[in-house]
Chain A
Amino acid sequence: MKTSRRDFMASAGAAAAAMHDLAHTQAPGHAHEHEHEHSTVPSDPALRVKSLESLLVEKGYVDPAALDMLIDTYEHKIGPRNGAQVVARAWMDAEFKKRLLADGTAAIGELGFGGRGGDYLQVVENTPKVHNLIVCTLCSCYPWAVLGLPPIWYKSAAYRSRAVIDPRGVLREFGLELPGDAEIRVHDSTAELRYMVLPERPAGSEKMSEEQLAALVTRDSMIGVAKVTLAKPEERKAGGRA
């Protein structure tokens, strides 16, 4: 029972090979037509997903317009610009910062952010002495409400495995060399709490407005793999979704 369930999952996730097999077991009498069809339409998980979508829509489990809306929200509306606003506010407003560190969920809620992937938010502050880094070793937990959906590297085996045992090595790969006397706190997101790093405000930004400050804040600085600098961050070139 267990094995067959696993095999079924393997065939669902696998791309080309599994699709081929499935087509043949389904329609053995039409092997030739299918052979041709599959050589020109390779391996497409897109086709399998489309097939499942139309099934779930036809059976009344998914509204395709809701699907469009959900995808659009995470592609265009919920992303690291949310978190950047939180950081800039904390840099400008000491009282807000105090509330933010005491109860991240409530303070972030003041800016209108929360909900899925941000039900229970904890903000951890980076200082010259303490450096916080966020990971999810077991899966891909990430503070969606403030940072949007995670980048591939955050979900990769390389990051998930090494962030806890060799955080300094990981940070070095990101170009961040921490002094030996700095304390590293790695936060493994093993429950529904979600972490966001409050990075250090860069020197030379004293006269900047809240909006200008928010524009400096990168996604990576809020995960804890980068510092905020006055240099124009590469990431910000990608539309509004740095």
Chain B
Amino acid sequence: MNGIHDMGGMQDMGPVEREKNEPVFHQRWEGRVFGMMWLASAGSKWSVDAMRNAIERIAPADYLRFSYYEKWFAALVDLVTSRGLVTRAEVESGKPAAGSAKATPVVNAAGVPAVIARGNPVKRDVPVAARFAVGQRVRGRNINPPTHTRLPRYARGKLGTIERDHGVFVFADSNAHFQGEKPQHLYTVRFAARELWGEQAPARDGVYVNLWDDHLEPA
């Protein structure tokens, strides 16, 4: 989706404002949202790709206005309702509907270290042929899906070089929509800064992007 989240190369967003001695969470509720997003997803309720898609579906003006964890909270409410954990009426009342089923949490406190250690393994040991080879010239495809994609707009239609083949990974673009893992090769593609931004860019500089087979075509 050509959404507001796809920010690479935009200008006029102002200076990068830093905070000294920044806490991990500025408010207690931010930590709760962070944790709930993770724990409530346990048991394959949604993937990190689906979570990113939910954040991207926040209206553009809200996306810019909301703080980081406000965006997460909006996405969390979207996910727990759209995935059927709770109903909108329950969110609004804050109470389970009378007679609704009670689940058992997938992760308890003792299980937290294991959940962190397990991580988010998305590399797949399946025999899928690579469509491109290291050193090959490729082009970012000119695609504009109205759905989730990890191909940034700034790389579409641009020439790059396969720098590295990382093996076979879950394809975020389909996984985000619960449409299967569609495992395929993931690469690092180097785009010269001048190819992306024109002559104003220094000749040596480059941007390295992780892209899947479906994002690329031979050049």
Contacts and interface: CB of A to CB of B under 8 A. Distances in A.
Interface of A: 5-6, 8-10, 12-15, 22, 26, 45-46, 48-56, 58-63, 65-71, 73-75, 78-79, 114-120, 135, 137-140, 145, 148-149, 151-153, 155-168, 170, 173-174, 180-193, 234-235, 237-238, 241
A22 B92 contact: yes
Contacts of B117: 114-116
A12 B33 CA distance: 12
Given A55-B91, A67-B32, A114-B117, A152 B208 contact: no
A165 B12 CA distance: 12
Which residue of B11, B17, B35 has the most chain A CB atoms within 10 A of its CB atom?
Answer: B35
B204 to A, nearest CB: 4
Please classify the interface of chain A as helix (H, G, I), strand (E, B), loop, or mixed, using the class held by over half of its residues. helix
A153 B206 contact: no
Contacts of A234: 20-21
Q: How large is the interface on B (under 10, 10 to 19, 20 to 34, 35 or more residues)?
A: 35 or more
Contact of B13 (A22, A162, A181, A182): A162
A186 B23 CA distance: 27
A236 B76 CA distance: 33
A140 B86 CA distance: 27
B119 A117 contact: yes
B208 A187 contact: yes
- Which of B6, B16, B75 has the most chain A CB atoms closer than 10 A to its own CB? B16
Contact of B36 (A53, A173, A180): A53
A188 B35 contact: no
A167 B205 contact: yes
A89 B7 CA distance: 36
